[in-house]
Structure 1
Amino acid sequence: MNFSELFELSGLLGRFSPDGKCLASCVQHRLVVRDVSSLQVCQLYTCLDKIQYIEWSSDSLFILCAMYKRGIVQVWSLEQPDWHCKIDEGSAGLVASCWSPDGRHILNTTEFHLRITVWSLCTKSVSYIKYPKACQQGVVFTKDGRYMAVAERRDCKDFISIFVCSNWQLLRHFDTETQDLFGIEWAPNGCVLAAWDSCLEYKLLLYSLDGRLLSSYRAYEWPLGIKSVAWSPSSQFLAIGSFDEKVRILNHVTWKKITEFEHPATIASKKTIVYKEVEKSPSVETERLSFPPTKALASSLFSTQSKYEISQVPVSLQYIKPVADRANPKVGVGMLAFSADNCFLATKNDSIPNAVWVWDIRRLKLLVVLEQLCPIQGFQWDPRQPRLALCTGTSRVFLWSPAGCVAVQVPGEGDFQIVSLSWHSSGDSMVLLSKDNCCVCYLEREEVK
C-alpha cells in the first residue's frame, strides 16, 4: 500500500468523479479538483460561501456545490472553467440538492419541504414537485436513470409519486400503507421499490413500477422496528436491519423471509473466525538510536502499531447496554452492505460498536467477525472484488477479504483520524477522510491466477 500526502479538507467533502479521473475536495469556500493519477490540482473554484455539500454529475463534466445556509447552489464545468451557474432559491431556502441521472438537471428541496424545484441547465426551464416528505431517504432514482420515486406527505397521509426522468412527467401516484413513511429504495434492476415505515411500526412494503403492492412484510408488532435496509446488487435479496439486533433476508421470488442473522455478544461457533485487533509498541534496537532522534524514528518510538490475531472461541464482544429513556438508542443493526459479487453481507450492531460481522450469503451463515479496539465509523466494499475496507476514527485503515485481514498505519506526522472512506471505481485506491484532512491510499492490484 502507498499513501499520498495529506490534503486540507473541510466537511468530509472528498469525492472521486464517476469516471475515476478526478478527485474533488473542499476547503471552506474553495473547491479543489485534482487529477487522480498525479494528484496535481487541475481546477480551483471559489464559491460564495462555505460549501456544505458537493456532488459530481453522472458524466463527470460538472460538479455542484451547495451552500444551504445561503440557499445557493453553484455549478462548475470541468471542460469550460470560465462557465458557471448559480441557482438561488431565495426566501424559499434550501435543505437538499442533487443531480438528476442525466447530469443536466438539478433537484433542490426547499426549507420545510414545501417543494422540489427541478432546474434544467440546458433549457433553463423550471419544474416543481409539491409536498415532498421530510424523511431519511425521500428521493431515489433507478440505476438506469429512467425513473425517479418521491416520497410525499399530503393531508396527513403518505404517498409515492413515480416520474419519468426524460421529461419529468408523472407516471404513477399512489398512497402507501404506512403511518410515517421513513425511506424508499429501488432494487438495482429498477423493477421493485421498497418503502418502509418509521421505527415505531415494523412494516416494509414492496411496489412494482406501476404502483401495485407486491408484498408487505412485518417481523413483529410492538417493539421498535426497521433501522436499515439494503438491496443485494443482483436484486435477489433484500436485507432488513432491525432494532431487535437481527438482520432478516427476503428473497425476490416470494418476498418471504429465507433466514435471519442474529448478533449475539458471545461468539460460540467454531466455524466462525474472530479476528481481534491488538496493539503493540514497536521495538527499536538501541544500536539504531541517535540523539536527538530523527523525526521518523521519534514518531515510531512513541506510536503504537496494530495487527489482527485470531481469537479462540467462545469470544465475548464488548456490549454496550442502550439507555432506554433517550431518543435514538444505540441498539439494532444500523449498517448493512452487500459485496459487489453478492456473496457477502457486512453488518454492524450498534450495541456492539467495535465489531463488524461478515456473513456468507451463499451458505447463509456467519463467516467472520472483526473485533476492533475502537468503534466502527464506516465500512465499504471494493466495487470490483470481495474486499471490505473499514475505519475506526484512528490513523489506520483495515481490510478484510476471504484471504485474511490486514491493519495498515497511515504514515505521516500529526494525528490523522479516519472517520470516512470511499473506494475508487477501479478498486485500486481509496480516499480516506478525517475532519480536517484527506489522503489517497493506493492498493497493489492482485494478479488474477
Structure 2
Amino acid sequence: MNFAEILRTSGSQLAWSPDGRFCAVPVTARLEIRDSSSLQVLITYNCTDLIQVLEWSSDSSYVLTGNYKRCVTEVWSIEDPDWKCKINEGSAGLIKVCWAPDSRHILTTAEFYLRITVWSLVSKTVSYIKHPKNIAQGLQFSPDHDYLAVVERKECKDYISLMETKSWHLVKHFEVATRDLAGVQWSSDGSVLAVWESPLEYKILIYSLSGHSLATYSAYQWSLGIKGVSWSPSSQFLAIGSYDQKVRLMNHLTWRIIADFTHDSIIDSENCVIFKEVEKPLTGYPATLASVQGLPLILETTYEEEETRPVSLASITTELGKQASPRIGVGTLLFSRDNRYLATRNDNMPATIWIWSVPKLSLKAVLVHVNPVKEFTWDPRQPRLALCTGSNHVYFWSPFGCLTVAIPGAPTLQISSLRWHPSGSSIALMGRDQFSVCFFDGQPKMMGLNSSA
C-alpha cells in the first residue's frame, strides 16, 4: 500500500469520475479536478458559493455542483473548461439535485417537495413532475437507466409513476398498497420494485413494472418494522433489516424468507471467526509530548482473533417508547460484489460489523472495534471490505483475513467516510476538511483466515 499526501477538501466530499480518470474535490467555493492516479490538479473552477453537493455525469464529461442556500446548481465541462451552465430555482427553493442517466438532463427538487424539475442541457427546456412524496428514496432510476420510478402522494394515497428517461413520458402509473410508503428500490436487474412501509408497520411489497403486486411480506405486527433494505447484485436475494435486530433474506423465485440472521449480544458459535481490535497506547515521554500537542495517544492498533466462547459484545441499552429514533435494529446492509457476503451493522452495537456467508446462510466473521464504525463499504471489484471509526486508521477485511493500517504522517486525520475508486485500485480516506488516498500495489497481506465461504 502507498499513501498520498494529506490534501484539503470541504465537507468530507470527494467524487471519482465513473470512468476512473478524474477525481473531483471541493475546497470551499473552488472545485478541483485532479488526475486519479497522480492527484495533480488539472482544472480549477470557481463556484458561486460553498459547494454542498457534488456529482459526476455518468459519461464523466460533466460535473455538477450545488448550493442549497442560494438555490443554485452549476455544471462544468471537463472537455471545455470555458463552458458553464447555471440553474437557479429562485423562490421555489432547492433541497436536492441529481443527474439523469443520459448525462444531458438534471433533476432538481423544490422545497417542501412541491415539484421535481427536469432541465435539459441540450434543448434548454424544462418539464415538471408533480406531487413527489417527501421521502429520501422516492426518486430511483432503474439499473439499465431506461426508467425513472417516482413515488407520489395524492389524496392520502401512495402511487408510483414510471417514466421513460429518453422522452420523459409517463409509461405506467399505479397505486401502491401502503399506508405510508417509506422507500422504493429497483432490483439489480431492473425487473421488479421493492416497496416498504414506514417503521411504524412491518410490510414490504414486490411489484412488477406493470404495476402488479407479486408478493407481500410482514414478519410481525405492533412494533417498529423495517429499517433497511438491500438487493444482492444478482437480484437473487433481498435483505431486509428491521428493528428486532434481525436480517431476513428473501429469495427471488418464491419471494419467501429463506434465512434469519440474528444479531445477538452474546456469540457462542464456533463456526465464525471473531476479530477484536486491540490498541497499543504510547507510554513515557512520547505520550507526554503527544498529550501536550493534542495528538492521539494510540501508537498502533491491530486485530486479534478471539478463540474463547461465548463472547459478549458491548451494546447500547435503549428504552423503547422514550425515544423517537431509538438506536436499535439493522439499518445498514451491504452485499459484496460477488454476492457471497453480506455485511451488516446493528445500531445498538455500533462498534461491531457482522459478515454473513450467503451460500452457507451462516455467520462468517465478526469484527469488534474499540470505537463506533463510521462507515463500511465493499470494494467494487472483489470481496474486500473497508471500514473507518473516526481515527487515523483504516480497516480491511477479506476472506483471507483482517488488516489495520495507520495513515503515515497524519495523526490528526480522523477518517469518517470512504470512497472506493471504480476500479478498486485505490480508496479515498475522508476527514472533515482533509483526505488522503490509499493506493493498492496488489493484494494486501492479511492474517490467516479460512478462505471458504
TM-score, normalising length from structure 2?
0.94
Contact 2:233 2:338 in 1 (8 A): yes
Q: For the residues of structure 2 that align with 1:282 and 1:52, how far apart are their CA atoms?
A: 38
Q: Distance in 2 between matches of 1:439 and 1:200?
A: 41
Match of 1:25 in 2: 25
Q: Is the 8 A contact 2:392 2:410 kept in 1?
A: no
Identity over aligned pairs, percent: 51
What are the Cα deviations for residues 176-211 of structure 1, in whole angstroms up to 9, with x where unaligned? 111111111100100011111100011111111111
Alignment equivalent of 1:346, drawn from 343, 346, 350: 343
The answer to whether the 8 A contact 2:201-2:222 is kept is yes
| 1:287 alignment partner in structure 2 | none
Q: Secondary structure at the match of 1:70?
A: coil
- Partners of 1:90 and 1:440 lie apart in 2 by 38
Report the 3-state secondary structure (helix = DSSP H, G, I; strand = E; otherwise coil) of the residue aligned with 1:304. strand
The answer to whether the 8 Å contact 1:160/1:174 transfers is yes
Q: In the TM superposition, what is the alpha-carbon distance from 1:25 to its structure 2 partner?
A: 1.1
Q: In the TM superposition, what is the alpha-carbon distance from 1:302 to its structure 2 partner?
A: 5.1
CA distance in 1 between partners of 2:76 and 2:31 (Å): 10
CA contact (8 A) 2:151 2:161 kept: yes
Q: How far off is 1:414 after superposition?
A: 4.4
The residue that corresponds to 2:330 in the other structure is 333
Map 1:179-194 onto structure 2 (within 5 A): 179-194=179-194
8 Å Cα contact 2:392-2:411 kept in structure 1? no
Alignment of 1:285-304 (within 5 A): 303-304=298-299
Paired with 2:295 and 2:162, the residues of 1 have a C-alpha distance of 57
| 2:242 corresponding residue in structure 1 | 242
Task: Return the offset for 1:125.
Answer: 1.2
Q: Does 1:143 align with 2:143?
A: yes
One-letter amino acid of the structure 1 residue matched with residue 38 of structure 2:
S
Q: Is the 8 A contact 1:3 1:440 kept in 2?
A: yes
| Match for residue 300 of structure 2 among 305, 318, 335 | 305
Letter of the 2:10 counterpart: S
Aligned to 2:385: 388
Q: Which amino acid aligns with 1:388?
A: L
Q: How far apart, CA to CA, are the structure 1 residues paired with 2:14 and 2:152? A: 31
Q: Is the 8 A contact 1:19 1:60 kept in 2?
A: yes
Partner of residue 322, structure 1:
318
1:201–1:224: 8 Å Cα contact kept in structure 2? Answer: yes
Equivalent-residue separation in structure 1 for 2:223 and 2:387 (angstroms): 31
Q: Given residue 387 of structure 2, which amino acid in structure 1 is its aligned partner?
A: L
Distance change (3 Å), C-alpha of 1:340 and 1:74: same
Task: Give the match for residue 204 of structure 1.
Answer: 204
1:301 positional shift: 10
Change (3 A) 1:300 1:200: closer
> What displacement does 1:282 show?
6.3
1:230 is displaced (CA, Å) by: 0.2
121-130 or 413-422: bigger deviation: 413-422
Q: Any residues of structure 2 matched to 1:4-23 within 5 Å, and which? A: 4-23=4-23
Note if contact 1:282-1:300 (Cα within 8 Å) is conserved in structure 2. Answer: no
- The separation in 1 between residues aligned to 2:323 and 2:359, in whole angstroms, is 38
Letter in 1 for 2:247: V
Q: Which amino acid aligns with 2:426?
A: S
Report the alpha carbon displacement of residue 78 of structure 1 after superposing the two structures with TM. 0.4
Instruction: Work out whether residues 280 and 298 of structure 2, in 8 Å CA contact, stay in contact via their aligned partners in 1.
Output: no
**2:371 is the alignment partner of 1:374:** yes
Number of matched residues?
439
Residues 234-280 of structure 1 deviation map (CA, whole Å, 9 limit, x = unaligned): 00000000000000000000111001100000110011110000001
RMSD between aligned residues? 2.0
* C-alpha contact (below 8 Å) 1:61/1:77 kept by paired residues: yes
Paired residue for 1:130?
130
- When normalised by structure 1's length, the TM-score is 0.95
> Aligned-pair distance for 1:49?
1.1
Mapped partners of 1:64, 1:133: distance in 2: 24
**Superposed displacement of residue 281, structure 1:** 3.4
Q: Please, which runs of 5 or more residues in structure 2 have no aligned partner? A: 445-453
The CA deviation string for residues 38-79 of structure 1, in whole angstroms up to 9 with x for no partner, is: 110011111111111110000111011111111110000000
In 1: Cα distance, 2:296 partner to 2:433 partner: 25
Q: Which runs of 5+ in 1 are unaligned?
A: 285-289
Matching residue of 2:449: none
Give runs of ≥4 in structure 1 deviating > 6 Å: 298-301
